[in-house]
Chain A
Amino acid sequence: MPASFTSAADLIRLLPEIILTVMGTFLMVLDPILHKRSSRAFGHLSILALAGGIGGSVYAYAHAGPAFGGMLMVDGFATFFRVLVMVVGILTVLPSYRFLNRQDAETSEYHALLLFSIAGQCLMAAANELIIVFIGLEISSIASYVLAGYLRDDKRANEASLKYFLLGSFATAFFLYGVALIYGSTGSVNLIAVRAAISGQNAPEPVFLGLAAALMFVGLGFKVSAAPFQIWAPDVYQGAPTPVAAFLSAGPKAAAFAVFLRIFMTAFEPIGGGWEPLVWISALLSMTIGNFAALLQSNVKRMLAYSSIAHAGYVLVALTARSETGTAAAMFYLAAYALMNIGAFAVVSHLSGRGERYQNIDDLAGLGQKQPLTAAMLAIFLLSLIGVPLTGGFFGKFYIFKAALDSHLYWLAVLGLLNSAVAAYYYLRILVMMYMHEPGEAVEAVEPLSLGLRAALILPAMGTLFLGIFPAWVLDFAGKSAALVK
């Protein structure tokens, strides 16, 4: 690769990350100036930065191509995930206004860390080299470890943050060991070059490659909370501040899946037959463990955590398909999942009250009478999580199982469908609780919806319905971009 100076085109292709990091740094400088007087401005500024970042990534897409000597690849795939994680970011900031105000914790660090974490995820989405994957992964993870423990006087948040940190850095270390083995056996860290070396004349030892792929699978499996590496997810989601839990369940997961798809569908695509059984088992385990454990939960955040493990399992089904249809289905599903899940968490954030007292499923009793709008929005998210027609979740599942059937994964598709039937039970339990019970203590104490919360509920609900009624618009883009992965 020839040595060359940074060109303007390179910088344009890095625009979203630049906008986010500059604004994140600016927010930290601004803290002493604006502190306490107008702390809402931090939220406004980070929404501005995220909107600017979305604009930036669309502009970068207009100048699509490799950047920095092939280290980044800005294509439809990267743009899809960049926009997705920034939308997740906006939907995290919106309910945070009220939440942070209620906990007396309005600082600029929260927003700065959020922006840094999203910048790391954007980098992951566009990474085309294992060094960049690693840097993006760590920028995103280190910021989210701190975010999980943001309420530092809360024992539960401390504990969640520590568990996330320990298991997260353990998983990253394994991922890195896998990367080192790949570098050792192919002599390159560029995904395209790795692919060429693997499928070339003197291919490296399959033992090394298999070990490397397995180690990288452990690292990424942790980040997407796929079984058997899901053990951290329920604890972290329960202990972390609710808007942060919403963010963790959508943003890092989508970015990690982007990396997963990019690595396994480009570099490791030639040895697909080798890793397919691994992903097959992990997909089945994630769906089964997630859904059956969710049945037993009484805490809503914990239940949503197990359900997010199950949803990671569905996306892994699409990965097992090892086809462009599968990749497109995974992209579509991640978009639908991000919207509905973050919306459901926003309702929990709204209800939980000061000190996050009300987090149990029983606390939702009678919400339908007291706040019909909130209840209706939650109902849309839950129906979408079940996969009822006219919602994004339905088409997401439909495309995933269709891709699985196209690749002759009949058993996995059947077991997946059975799993989604099990899942319907625990989502419906919440619906029954909201509409068929008298209001309890939690719902009586609920505050009226603020403007930010209203937007945080209505926007993802509209998105969910849009994906359910006009899926072709997003799916076409995903289909076009999935072809670029190769």
Chain B
Amino acid sequence: MHPITTVHYLALSAALLLIGTVGVLTRRNIVVILMSIELILNAVNINLIVFSRIWHNMDGQIFAIFVITDAVAEAAVGLGILIALFRNKETVLADEIDLLKW
């Protein structure tokens, strides 16, 4: 058995960043885009906690708590905006939101 090292965690985090980025860029459904952004934020959290452990200081863990709080606030506002849009346009697909030129 190989022990789980820092590199493994960093690789996991990098993979999440990649999946999230590809998700934001290729998905049509805005709810899925939101989920992809949350994935990137979680990649950040994994990084912060691993680094916090390496450096033996708490800054990273405190930062991670703030990132979680921010993710919640962002999700709340984002879904609110999406509901306001859905009422007027009846769609959650990014490519049908084309009143303004991209």
Interface residues of A (CB under 8 A from B): 130-131, 134-135, 138, 142, 145-146, 149, 152-156, 158-163, 165-166, 169-170, 173-174, 176-177, 179-181, 183-184, 187-189, 231, 234-235, 238-239
> Which B residues are in CB contact (< 8 Å) with A165?
74, 77-78, 81
Q: Could you tell me if A166 and B77 are in contact, using CB atoms closer than 8 angstroms? A: no
The 8 closest A-B pairs by CB, nearest first: A184-B51, A173-B40, A180-B47, A187-B55, A158-B85, A235-B100, A176-B44, A152-B84
**28 interchain pairs (CB within 8 A)?**
A145-B78, A149-B85, A152-B84, A155-B88, A158-B81, A158-B85, A158-B88, A161-B84, A162-B81, A162-B82, A162-B85, A163-B102, A165-B81, A166-B24, A166-B30, A169-B37, A169-B78, A170-B24, A176-B44, A177-B44, A179-B44, A183-B48, A183-B55, A183-B59, A187-B54, A187-B55, A188-B59, A234-B100
Q: Could you tell me if B78 and A183 are in contact, using CB atoms closer than 8 angstroms? A: no
A149-B84, A180-B48 are known contacts. Are A162 and B97 too (CB-CB below 8 A)? yes
**Nearest neighbor of B39 in chain A, beta-carbon distance:** A173
> Which B residues are in CB contact (< 8 Å) with A238?
100
CA distance A154 to B44 in the complex (A): 35
CA distance A149 to B78 in the complex (A): 11
CA distance A40 to B55 in the complex (A): 53
**A145 nearest CB across to chain B (Å):** 6
**A222 nearest CB across to chain B (Å):** 13
> Which A residues are in CB contact (< 8 Å) with B55?
183, 187
CA distance A190 to B44 in the complex (A): 18
CA distance A341 to B63 in the complex (A): 36
**A127 nearest CB across to chain B (Å):** 13
Query: Which residue of the partner chain, among B78, B80, B99, B101, contacts A234 with CB atoms under 8 Å?
Result: B101
CA distance A134 to B65 in the complex (A): 12
| 15 additional A-B residue pairs with CB within 8 Å, beyond A145-B78, A159-B100 | A138-B74, A146-B77, A153-B88, A155-B89, A155-B99, A161-B84, A162-B97, A163-B100, A165-B78, A176-B44, A177-B17, A179-B63, A180-B47, A235-B100, A235-B102
Q: Could you tell me if B24 and A239 are in contact, using CB atoms closer than 8 angstroms? A: no
Q: Could you tell me if A142 and B33 are in contact, using CB atoms closer than 8 angstroms? A: no
CA distance A174 to B17 in the complex (A): 9
Q: Could you tell me if B67 and A176 are in contact, using CB atoms closer than 8 angstroms? A: yes
CA distance A165 to B81 in the complex (A): 8
> Which B residues are in CB contact (< 8 Å) with A239?
99-100
One digit per residue, 1 when the CB lies within 8 angstroms of any chain A CB and 0 when it does not, for chain B 80-99 equals: 11101100110000100101
> Which B residues are in CB contact (< 8 Å) with A152?
84
Q: Could you tell me if A184 and B78 are in contact, using CB atoms closer than 8 angstroms? A: no
CA distance A235 to B66 in the complex (A): 30
CA distance A131 to B48 in the complex (A): 12
Q: Could you tell me if A158 and B84 are in contact, using CB atoms closer than 8 angstroms? A: yes
